[in-house]
Amino acid sequence: MAAVLSATPGLLKIVDVAGTRTFISQLGAASPAHRQAQILTQLRLLADTRISGDDRLHILETLRDTALEAQNVRSRDYWGKPVPFDSNTREIFERSIALWRVLADAYESLIADMAEAAPDLAEHAEIICYRALRFTGFAMAAHNRAYHAIPGAFWEQLHRLYAFAENAEVTDIPVAEGIGSTSTVNLAYLQVVLAQRAHPDSLSLLQINTVDRALAQWVALGRLSREPVNTNRDFALAVDLGSAQGARRVKSLQGDNLRYLDLEQISDKLRQTAVALKTQNPDKLGLGPIPREACEKLMLTLHANWLTPGTAREEERKPVSFNVLVSSTLAAMHYNVSGKPFSPPDAGLSSRERYDMAGFQRVDGPAAVGEASTRSRTLETWAVVNQSASGMLGLCRKPSDTTQLSYNQLLGLVAPNGNTYLGLIQRLSVEPDGTASLGLRLLRAKVQAVAARASNVDVPYERSLLVAAGPGSEPPSILVVPGTYAPGRVLDMHDGKQHHIRLTALLDSGCNFERASYTTA
């Protein structure tokens, strides 16, 4: 048994491989939360001991799969949850990040031992660097799926580990990743760099998963070089190993610590995939269960982020400074658009009366008064810091506990001049200091407050919003509550008069809305 020189006697259970296996067997009946907490505690205790480097490596390798399984189970409790997190979700998220960090640090601590107490560990340098780098990458990916910005310290650790592996000349030595699978430090590092360069704060969870699947297949087609690749500096990407940032355009970088990304073969693969998607399902191409059209758009996004300069929309952004009132319910948006409380067209009326009714203003009777809504409260006052023709970026320094924001959520905005806008959250990130930022794609079309419900069904009218035809070929559409859309469904729609419309296609959806095109029924 290894000598334990500084841990409190009896608390550390993973003092050697046998003890670690016993500890793992005892976790079998524990809840996911308890299992994660116990692993975290034991690894923290291990960090405070002076167990030899070789013994610590074997302990970590023995515990690794169990730690990965525990993390995978707990991650489902915070992935994609509305931000800012409630206290319970935040605790789960922070504990998960803490465990990723302690795993990465535990492996990285072995690097110091190579130069001091355990020089024989150099024989395993590729394993040590690879594991530490992978766990750092997992911590970064966890931030992505929680829509939290990645602290610079993670980038610093990732670059530091890669630089050591490069100096030790172990970047291309295969390391066992699973049954029948191997990878290298080089591939693991490049995969993290490209995953982050995909701008995951601007992607849905489904899109993030698709990027991961694509990179698992394509990353071996890319490479890193100390010398500039033969590419236009406006297009080329590089990383600065001395920085706390990821890949950036070469034209923005300088110094002697750059590593250049050669993505020519990945570019070819992107083009081939875009062509294949015209006739094949994304799942058949190994990209997972994502709709074909959405996958085609994602491929274009990846091409822009990895291979070409910024889009025209980004170049047209200009700094501004004004506040907007933000609301997240169709009820509040309906009020802000119409300027008056909502009175359902059928409130308190019989079927015949509902049929004969010509408009909203004929509602009468006690039930109508009781059902007429008042203005729903807004979530927050947000500061708009820049905008373009199609969107804007907003900040909230101290989001309230009641704020609930999700990717692709529909928001209503009331500007200082009283104008109302609708936008979809296309970028979402909580910074390390708690500041929340969101990028909105505005619906650039006239919006009208109406009421709608499924025809031939005895259900009340719901607040809905008609969106006129937009730029290009964007058809007129209707915004309805989730669960309303079905292909070909006929709706009774009131805009002061009764109309019948048929839903033709689901254009977009989020946690608080569905947007569908329609025709006259």
DSSP 86: P
The pLDDT of residue 142 is 98
State how far the Cα of 106 lies from the Cα of 209, in Å rounded to an integer: 28
The pLDDT of residue 369 is 34
Is it the case that residue 310 has pLDDT exceeding 70? no
The pLDDT of residue 446 is 94
Reported as a pLDDT band with limits 50, 70 and 90, residue 96 is very high
The pLDDT of residue 150 is 97
Is it the case that residue 388 has pLDDT exceeding 90? no
Per DSSP, helices labelled H in 168-263 are: 185-197, 205-218
Q: What are the residue ranges spanned by the domains of the chain?
A: 1-161, 318-440, 447-520
Question: Of 233, 253, 246, 265, which is closest to residue 190 (Cα–Cα)?
Answer: 246
The pLDDT of residue 361 is 36
Which of 263-272, 315-324, 368-377 has the lowest average pLDDT? 368-377
Reported as a pLDDT band with limits 50, 70 and 90, residue 377 is low
Reported as a pLDDT band with limits 50, 70 and 90, residue 472 is confident
When pLDDT is averaged across residues 380-391 and rounded to a whole number, the result is: 86
Q: In this structure, are residues 347 and 482 in contact, taking their beta carbons and an 8 Å threshold?
A: no
What length does the chain have? 521
The pLDDT of residue 438 is 92
Is it the case that residue 309 has pLDDT exceeding 70? no
The pLDDT of residue 348 is 52
Q: In this structure, are residues 492 and 453 in contact, taking their beta carbons and an 8 Å threshold?
A: yes
Is it the case that residue 375 has pLDDT exceeding 50? no
Reported as a pLDDT band with limits 50, 70 and 90, residue 401 is low
Which comes out higher in pLDDT, residue 228 or 232? 228
Question: The domain 318-440: what is its CATH number?
Answer: 2.40.10
Interval 8-51: pLDDT, tens:
556 999 999 999 999 999 998 899 999 999 999 999 999 999 89
The pLDDT of residue 364 is 36
How far the first Cα of the chain sits from its last, in Å, is 79
- Hey, is 73 helix, strand or coil? helix
When pLDDT is averaged across residues 108-133 and rounded to a whole number, the result is: 92
- CA 291 from chain centre, in angstroms, equals 18
Is it the case that residue 372 has pLDDT exceeding 50? no
- pTM, rounded to two decimals: 0.90
Q: In this structure, are residues 100 and 122 in contact, taking their beta carbons and an 8 Å threshold?
A: no
When pLDDT is averaged across residues 219-231 and rounded to a whole number, the result is: 90
Interval 138-157: pLDDT, tens:
999 999 999 999 999 999 99
DSSP 509: E
Task: Look up tokens 């709709």; give the residue.
Answer: 291
Provide the CB-side half-sphere exposure for 217 (13 A, CA): 12
Q: In this structure, are residues 149 and 432 in contact, taking their beta carbons and an 8 Å threshold?
A: yes
Task: Look up tokens 């569908």; give the residue.
Answer: 516
Which of 89-103, 176-190, 365-379, 487-501 has the lowest average pLDDT? 365-379
Is it the case that residue 134 has pLDDT exceeding 60? yes
Reported as a pLDDT band with limits 50, 70 and 90, residue 406 is very high
Is it the case that residue 448 has pLDDT exceeding 60? yes
The pLDDT of residue 115 is 82
State how far the Cα of 144 lies from the Cα of 153, in Å rounded to an integer: 15
Interval 254-301: pLDDT, tens:
888 999 999 999 999 999 999 999 999 999 999 999 999 999 999 999
Reported as a pLDDT band with limits 50, 70 and 90, residue 357 is very low
Q: In this structure, are residues 67 and 103 in contact, taking their beta carbons and an 8 Å threshold?
A: yes
Residue type, 99: L
State how far the Cα of 447 lies from the Cα of 498, in Å rounded to an integer: 18
Average pLDDT score, the chain = 89
When pLDDT is averaged across residues 197-226 and rounded to a whole number, the result is: 97
Handedness of CA 290, 293, 294, 300 (dihedral sign): positive
Tokens of 200: 């995951």
